[in-house]
Amino acid sequence: MGNYTALFFLWEASLQSVGQLGLEAGARGLYYVLFLLGCRLLVKSMRILVIDDSASLRTAIVGLLASRIDSAEVGEAADGPSALVQFRRAAWDVLILDISIPGESGLTVLDKIQALRPGQPVVMFTTHLSQVMVNNVFSRGALGYVVKEDAPDELVPAIHNALVGQRYQSRRVISFMEGN
């Protein structure tokens, strides 16, 4: 997680530097490309653990992540106990966790993960849409809440936000919360 936080602050600093340099649009574009290429050298791969009881959905998420995140290393777990085993075996940059999984609920798994590694970035990935649930997962340490229907557009931004310690809610969640 440290590499991603450092990159975030580097990016912020580079935006200020470019503004102070007064570079033209073409030069700014080249600067950003070089900056991003340098970032790829700092971060070799991103380790993501996908925890969901649906094998077909896990396969789709693995494919989505592989197509949108360069050098993503993705692990899978189908239930609470196997998720905790996988979590203990390796250092994961971010977890994508369904609330309704067999063995132990996603909420129980979230609690155990946060007890083992406080601050571990976790994005909740679910069909549950209630104000109580959204507030509950954030109070337990999750950094993202994405409704499964929103995955193609919202899962990768949620992951990136979680990696730099920022909360993320998919559009459907925000709309729902504003209506209640």
DSSP output for 31-71:
HHHHHHHHHHHH---EEEEEE-S-HHHHHHHHHHHHHHSTT
What pLDDT, on the 0 to 100 scale, is given for residue 70? 83
- Name the token pair of 75: 């692990």
Q: By the 8 A CB rule, do 94 and 162 touch? A: yes
Q: By the 8 A CB rule, do 146 and 123 touch? A: yes
Map out the domains of the chain with their CATH numbers. 2-42 (no CATH), 46-179 (3.40.50.2300)
Residue 84 parent element (H or E): helix 80-89
pTM over 0.85: no
List the one residue out of 161, 175, 178 whose CA is nearest residue 1.
161
Per-residue pLDDT of the chain (180 residues; tens, 9 = 90+): 455 555 555 555 555 555 555 556 555 555 555 555 555 445 558 999 999 999 999 999 999 998 888 888 999 999 999 999 999 999 999 999 999 999 999 999 999 999 999 999 999 999 989 999 999 999 999 999 999 999 999 999 999 999 999 999 999 898 888 886
What pLDDT, on the 0 to 100 scale, is given for residue 45? 81
